[in-house]
Structure 1
Amino acid sequence: MGWFWAEQHTSKPLRGSSAAACPIDHTKLSKSNSNQESLCPVKPNVASGSASECPVKDDIEVLNPLNNMPMAISSERAPGQKVVLSTERTISSIPRGESDDQGLWEYPSPQQMLNAMLRKGKGDGIPEDAVESMVEVHNFLNEGAWQQILEWEDKHSQSTRVEPRLLQFTGKPHELSPRARMYLWLGKYFPETFNTQPPFDRHDWTVLRSLGKNKGWKQVRYIIDYYGAPDDEETGMPSFMLDTRPALDNFDNAFDRFEHWSVPLWKKAMGEVSSSEN
């Protein structure tokens, strides 16, 4: 797990979770075709002498297969909106897709974040002037999650000399991971040690691990549970905890998890790690 303290301005990406906002970009993944007139694929009922009503309603959202989210979110001001929000988007440090020409993933602008929350029915009660801070936390957590994945992938990157990339992600806010479920159960009996509250969000990220330069990629699923934590005692800033690990989909992932936690313990037991480094 990794601990993070929110700051108003985070200029450097983190190496290595209060706003319960999704720490992933759920917006622009491809350009919208909103300027083109959509055609109904259902033909009129000629035999009846009148056109059939199109069963494909205009308000049905077209979902992007990369993240199961709407293809595009408007940057226009919402009806009744009083605070002017920025429409500028921030580029992340996370490489997107299989090749360099696909660029980096983008974070939503504050205006897009507000529109997304309103669309999902989650915007009620959220002050408009707090949205920009929510976006900062959103971006901060996203960078932190990626830095934790880089730590997991480090031994593979050193072997192939190719950095991993992010292919896709899926939000599962209402689906507890097996470990989160286990921690909640243990928290009933050992509340001082284990979580008594569920994570406020969960995501599954599909990471591309190189098989070697120009040899293709292996897809590795990571599970990320996002927890709120007590505010920092010294600064009063909200803090978060990210539990990031490869999913137990195969033997390689299971071995990576075993090695990731067992090797530091073994080195510490053997006296190879000084107390100052812990």
Structure 2
Amino acid sequence: MGNKVSAEAHVNIKIGEKDANPPPECPMHNKTEQKPKVSECPVQHGNDINPFNMMPPANQQPAPDQPFTLPTNRQVSSIPRAMPDGSTEFWVYPSQQMFWNAMLRKGWRWKDEDIKPKDMDDIIRIHNANNEQAWQEVLKWEALHAKECGHPRLKSFGGKATQYSPRARIRSWLGYELPFDRHDWIVDRCGKDVRYIIDYYDGGEVDNKYQFAMLDVRPAIDSVENVWDRMKVMYMRYRYELIGNKQTKLSN
């Protein structure tokens, strides 16, 4: 879509000349015998929270006065979910209809926007791409513990768009923009819970892979192990940049 896209919760859309906050609905997917098993998308949304699964109820019904029909199919993510019984399911993303209903529940009014079916398709693709990108960044950190655990899984999550991380605030004091969204993901590292902070920054225009956000993903500083991991990665980055600069000077 030709409109600029950003997000607060997953995607903060700018359609026409007005901004909207469209948090997608990610309800619990009922267990069936289909393979692979799937579960709700890895982001928390909505106000009507089910106390049993901490997710809003699914709503696949067209809204009153909806201008066009929206698909109700949902894409299964590549993100494994740690289940209480030790099994693994996969998170599933919301459908376009669910996303639309969630936006309405948050106060968005489609009549104020020049929105088309193609826009909703693009929004869903951007939403899903952001989460897939975030999981790949988490896996880079988890590679430090590959011997300890070769199959980390996402256990739980939460959106904290208005609760800026200390690093994001320090960056803003230095003149950089604040992230448009923040998520905290709890990863099950073979029985050990590890919290990750994900700050989402506006990266400009959407590319052909439906990615536009720049992600700052790192373990939270809430354990000695996480602090040590961040120190190791900081050293490796510094060493790589130092060696790279030396090699560039020698080649010149």
- Structure 1 length normalisation: TM-score? 0.68
Matches within 5 A, 1:12-51: 18-20=5-7, 22-23=9-10, 26-31=25-30
Give the match for residue 43 of structure 2. Answer: none
Indicate the percent of aligned positions where both proteins have the same amino acid: 38
User: 1 CA distance for matches of 2:134 and 2:25?
Assistant: 15
Give the match for residue 69 of structure 2. Answer: 84
Give the match for residue 226 of structure 2. Answer: 253
Alignment: residue pair count: 214
SS at match of 1:244: strand
Post-superposition shift, 1:132?
1.5
Asked if the contact 1:25–1:106 (Cα under 8 Å) also holds between the matched residues in 2, the reply is: no
User: 2 CA distance for matches of 1:274 and 1:209?
Assistant: 37
Asked if the contact 1:25–1:105 (Cα under 8 Å) also holds between the matched residues in 2, the reply is: no
Flag the 1:186–1:102 CA change in 2: closer, same or farther, 3 A: same
Give the match for residue 262 of structure 1. Answer: 235
User: 2 CA distance for matches of 1:93 and 1:169?
Assistant: 16
Amino acid at match of 1:95: P
User: 2 CA distance for matches of 1:261 and 1:271?
Assistant: 15
Asked if the contact 1:19–1:137 (Cα under 8 Å) also holds between the matched residues in 2, the reply is: no
Flag the 1:178–1:149 CA change in 2: closer, same or farther, 3 A: same
User: 2 CA distance for matches of 1:128 and 1:21?
Assistant: 21
Amino acid at match of 1:112: M
Post-superposition shift, 1:261?
1.9
SS at match of 2:195: strand
Amino acid at match of 1:84: T
Moved more, 168-177 or 86-95: 168-177
Give the match for residue 50 of structure 1. Answer: none
Post-superposition shift, 1:262?
1.2
SS at match of 1:96: strand
Residue of 170, 185, 196 corresponding to 1:222: 196
Post-superposition shift, 1:123?
4.7
User: 2 CA distance for matches of 1:31 and 1:199?
Assistant: 33
SS at match of 1:225: strand
Are residue 240 (structure 1) and residue 239 (structure 2) matched? no
User: 1 CA distance for matches of 2:109 and 2:246?
Assistant: 48
* Higher RCO (C-alpha under 8 Å, 6+ residues apart): 1
Post-superposition shift, 1:97?
1.5
Asked if the contact 2:82–2:154 (Cα under 8 Å) also holds between the matched residues in 1, the reply is: yes
Flag the 1:64–1:244 CA change in 2: closer, same or farther, 3 A: farther
- Structure 2 length normalisation: TM-score? 0.74
Please provide the CA RMSD for this pair: 3.0
Are residue 153 (structure 1) and residue 126 (structure 2) matched? no
User: 2 CA distance for matches of 1:74 and 1:256?
Assistant: 41
Larger Rg: 1
Amino acid at match of 1:262: Y
Residue of 40, 49, 74 corresponding to 1:62: 49
User: 2 CA distance for matches of 1:94 and 1:168?
Assistant: 12
